[in-house]
């Protein structure tokens, strides 16, 4: 079965959860093509804010409840991240919610230089799970810079989804890293990035895209444009590549001190 991924490249209203949930719902509902995965930008409901105490939600909060509604309504896996509160601590928490309500969570491991480290707690566990015959992994923005963390040991995953807020000043870095992670891991890599200007006057142009195991772009959103784009990932092409060029077998084996 192919994966039909609806990549949402959105502008984000600064620290306004309801406005952002409404905008995402509008974009999803306006999509006429079929899809079975929805990928959202990092902190899609608030923007990349340090105002964790005011914005953080528990798993039972508005953002995750709305995501669960979308997953059920559209019979799709919904992936993204939000500002989470758990046990008095704050996390940049990734989620992957299945249509039946099954929930997978991943706390961002590599917190960005500066304020993210001051206000948020890092995670220390990777996420890999199976959904409709595909092995899925998730990383969040800055994680993409660290190949050991995302290493596809023994082909654990078929597709690496990355939810991001990556600024235009480093846009070439984002696009280079997406391709690098896909090639070295013999997997698809799909990233969703925001557009617009955030509350800290940082600008974003998007560049949301899917890259295959050879580093080729198989689908890309238009820069500086709010867009909901369906990109198809082909499982047969992936498996054929791994069979014909099993380079993954020559990778060093190691364990992570996490």
Active site residues: 42, 108, 141
* DSSP annotation string for 126-186: --EEEETTEEEEEEEGGGGG-TTTT--GGG--SEEEEE----GGGHHHHHHHHHHHHHHHT
Closest CA to 181 of 139, 231, 135: 139
Strands (DSSP E) along the chain, which ranges?
3-9, 37-39, 77-86, 89-97, 103-107, 128-131, 134-140, 159-163, 188-192, 195-197, 203-205, 209-211, 217-220, 227-233
Closest CA to 36 of 73, 64, 66: 73
Rounded CA-CA distance 198/172 in Å is 20
Q: How far is CA 156 from CA 37, 87, 163, 178, in A?
A: 19, 31, 19, 18
Q: 17-29 and 62-73 helices cross at what angle (nearest 10)?
A: 10
């Amino acid at each position: 079965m192919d994966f039909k991924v609806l990549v949402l490249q959105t502008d984000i209203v600064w620290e306004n959860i309801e406005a952002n949930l409404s905008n995402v719902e509008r974009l999803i509902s306006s999509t006429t093509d079929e899809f079975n995965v929805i990928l959202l930008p990092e902190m899609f409901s608030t923007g990349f804010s340090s105002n964790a105490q005011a914005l953080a939600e528990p798993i039972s909060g508005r953002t995750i409840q709305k995501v669960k509604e979308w997953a059920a309504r559209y019979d799709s896996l919904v992936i993204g991240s939000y500002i989470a509160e758990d046990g008095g601590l704050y996390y940049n928490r990734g989620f992957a919610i299945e249509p039946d309500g099954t929930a997978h969570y991943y706390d961002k491991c590599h917190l960005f230089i500066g304020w993210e480290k001051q206000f948020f707690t890092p995670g220390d566990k990777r996420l890999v799970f199976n959904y409709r015959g595909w092995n899925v992994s998730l990383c969040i923005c800055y994680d993409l810079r660290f190949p050991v963390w995302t290493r596809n040991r023994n082909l654990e995953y078929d597709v690496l989804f990355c939810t991001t807020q990556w600024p235009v000043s480093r846009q070439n870095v984002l696009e280079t890293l997406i391709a690098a992670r896909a090639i070295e891991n013999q997997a698809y890599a799909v990233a969703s990035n925001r557009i617009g200007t955030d509350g800290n006057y940082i600008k974003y142009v998007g560049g949301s895209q899917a890259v295959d195991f050879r580093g080729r772009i198989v689908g890309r959103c238009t820069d500086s444009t709010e867009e909901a784009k369906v990109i198809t990932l082909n499982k047969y092409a992936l498996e054929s590549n791994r069979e014909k060029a099993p380079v993954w077998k020559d990778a060093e084996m190691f364990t992570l001190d996490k």
